[in-house]
Amino acid sequence: MAAWRSLAGVQRLLGLPGLAARAASSGGAVNTAALQVPPGSTPARVAPAHEEDDEEVPLFAKNPDYHGFDSDPVIDVWNMRVAFFFGISLAIVVGTAFVHYLPDCGMDKWARREAERKIKEREAQGLPLLDANYYDPSKIVLPPEDEE
């Protein structure tokens, strides 16, 4: 019976009429089926495998792996791979270089260099490293006390 279903499927694929062929049993202990086609029955019309339609079919229906670069599937895949390779490579290389050459966030390195410079300067002048008055009190101009 499975062979009969398979045969019916093949008939449909070939465009044969469904009742043109039938299996006949020879009887006996062994069940062998022979294909009997009535004389004069030929397929009326076999449709070509691929008919060209005049209507426009979306590219995604023709090529389910369509990436939007080209209508030809081979060129589409190639362009997708090239675009992603260079896109990811540029993002990694240029992005890393950009982050490396960003200015010092928070001026931490500059503050350290400036502190070391001030220490060397104060040691050369013989002054203490830390003073109670950060600014020279004689240079600070205060408003008069009577004004408020």
- Asked whether residue 92 is assigned to any structural domain, the reply reads yes
Is 112 found in the same domain as 93?
no
In whole angstroms, give the CA distance from residue 20 to residue 12.
11
Is 109 found in the same domain as 90?
no
- Asked whether residue 24 is assigned to any structural domain, the reply reads no
Is 115 found in the same domain as 94?
no
- Asked whether residue 15 is assigned to any structural domain, the reply reads no
User: How confident is the model over 4-14, as a mean pLDDT?
Assistant: 60
Is 109 found in the same domain as 93?
no
Identify the residue with better confidence: 27 or 77: 77
pLDDT in tens, 117-132: 999 999 999 999 998 8
Closest by Cα among 94, 87, 64, 58 to 76? 64
- Asked whether residue 125 is assigned to any structural domain, the reply reads yes
Identify the residue with better confidence: 41 or 70: 70
Closest by Cα among 35, 34, 41 to 17? 41
- Asked whether residue 123 is assigned to any structural domain, the reply reads yes
- Asked whether residue 54 is assigned to any structural domain, the reply reads no
Identify the residue with better confidence: 120 or 44: 120
Question: What does the angle CA 96 – CA 92 – CA 109 come to, to the nearest 5 degrees?
Answer: 10
Instruction: Give the pLDDT band (50/70/90) at residue 20.
Output: very low
In whole angstroms, give the CA distance from residue 126 to residue 132.
16
**23: pLDDT strictly greater than 90:** no
> In total, how many domains does the chain have?
2
- Asked whether residue 121 is assigned to any structural domain, the reply reads yes
pLDDT in tens, 66-82: 778 888 888 888 999 99
- Asked whether residue 76 is assigned to any structural domain, the reply reads yes
Structural domain harbouring 90: 59-100
In whole angstroms, give the CA distance from residue 98 to residue 102.
6
